Amino acid sequence: MRAFRYAKADDPGAAATLVAGVPDAAYLGGGTNLVDLMKLGVLRPGLLVDVSGLPYDAIEHRPDGGVLIGGAVRNSRLALDDGIRRRYPAVARAVLAGASGQIRSQATVAGNLLQRTRCPYFQNTATPCNKREPGSGCSAIPGAHRDLAVIGTSDACVASHPSDLAVALAAHDAVVEVRRPDGIERLVPIHDLHRLPGDTPWIETVLDPGDLVTGVQLPAPPDGATAAYRKVRDRWSYAFAVVSVAAVFRRDAAGRLDEVRLALGGVAPKPWRLWTAERRLAGTDPGDDEVRSATRAAFAGARPLPDNAFKIDLAADLVAAVLRRSAS
């Protein structure tokens, strides 16, 4: 591991000044992903500014029915929160579906959103990877890509975003609060936080140096809506999603979906909203075949690889299972 300087921040302004002024500086939250990648030599910051002690650790339920989740809230505290469990069950379920008890206890909400891909080549400095080493090539496309993305990818990178929580937040139309180094707050819809790889896969978000994710706003869930999170993985616990789905939906008296929001995990470089499927399903009372067909249609622009093409059918089955009447 490269030697680095360390500063414990007690003030967001000072923290941002430090990070913005040093090209190889990084914020440290729970460290469960960052420290691991530093050990692997994948990340080599020269300065860590520890922001875990900044006052962004509250969960505030607001009079308008929404909630503000502090960026430094530990994942387990989010799943423990009574209002989150009651009003945003898909968020609590997604947290509990991810990682292990130890990691959930330490990892922060902001860190969860900004965690890096688990693409095996990104994590292995002995192999080419355009995300880690621009221009070195992608080892995953001709290699082990079974767990990686099928849509939103490019010839340069097929990494998938590993978060469960971000998928549930996407289905809830979350807005990410970002504090810029000049102190001005910027609001970023979660759909816009992560960038697709294109030919610059090393640029993963719209954040600038020194930008600090201070919180996540969730609007009030639609009255009477169901919120669900389902995850398919290779073992029962402590594994990343092969495919996961978060759904927020509601049926009218006639059984038609008058509200439906769908987000997938495990299939893309970011939480992947199924906008076209949502439009197609809204106002209908779809059977499994219609849901599968609408989901598949949303993958029209997909670029599946030989070993992960199965994810599209799996996603279609999963969305159908979540929306099935008997399931809710």
Partner 1 sequence: MTDQLRGDVVLRVNGADRVVNLDNRVTLLDALREHLRLTGTKKGCDHGQCGACTVLVDGQRANSCLLLAVAAGGREVTTVEGLAAGGDLHALQRAFIAHDGFQCGYCTPGQLCSALGMLAEAEEGLPSWAGDDLDSVAPADLDDDEIRERMSGNLCRCGAYAGIVAAVREVARG
Residue 102 CA to residue 280 CA, distance in Å, equals 41
CB atoms under 10 Å from CB of 306, counted, come to 9
Of 193, 202, 247, the C-alpha closest to 222 is 247
* 76 makes contact with partner 1 (CB under 8 A): yes
Residue 34 CA to residue 29 CA, distance in Å, equals 9
Give the residue with the Cβ less far from partner 1, 33 or 160: 33
Structure tokens at 317: 């089955």
User: Could you say which of 135, 183, 184, 236 contacts partner 1 (CB under 8 A)?
Assistant: 236
Token look-up 């639609």 returns 222
* 195 makes contact with partner 1 (CB under 8 A): no
Report whether 118 contacts 162 (CB < 8 A).
Answer: yes
* 322 makes contact with partner 1 (CB under 8 A): no
> 178 to each of 16, 206, 213, how far by Cα in Å?
11, 11, 4
* 39 makes contact with partner 1 (CB under 8 A): yes
User: Could you say which of 26, 57, 85, 202 contacts partner 1 (CB under 8 A)?
Assistant: 85
* 103 makes contact with partner 1 (CB under 8 A): yes
Of residues 270-289, which lie at the interface with partner 1 (CB under 8 A)?
Answer: none
* 237 makes contact with partner 1 (CB under 8 A): yes
Quick note: the x/- pattern for partner 1 over 44-73, rule CB under 8 A, is ---xx-x-x---------------------
Is the Cα torsion angle 158, 161, 164, 165 positive or negative in sign? negative
* 254 makes contact with partner 1 (CB under 8 A): no
HSE of 235, CA atoms in CB hemisphere, 13 A: 5
> 18 to each of 80, 113, 161, 213, how far by Cα in Å?
33, 22, 28, 16
Give the residue with the Cβ less far from partner 1, 20 or 103: 103
* 168 makes contact with partner 1 (CB under 8 A): no
* 238 makes contact with partner 1 (CB under 8 A): yes
> 181 to each of 11, 118, 177, 187, 292, how far by Cα in Å?
12, 29, 13, 14, 45
Least gap, CB of 83 to partner 1 (angstroms): 12
Give the residue with the Cβ less far from partner 1, 79 or 274: 79
User: Could you say which of 44, 57, 105, 303 contacts partner 1 (CB under 8 A)?
Assistant: 105
Residues forming the site for partner 1 (CB under 8 A): 1, 3-8, 18, 28, 31-32, 35-36, 39-40, 47-48, 50, 52, 74, 76, 79-80, 85, 89, 92-93, 96-97, 99-103, 105-106, 236-238
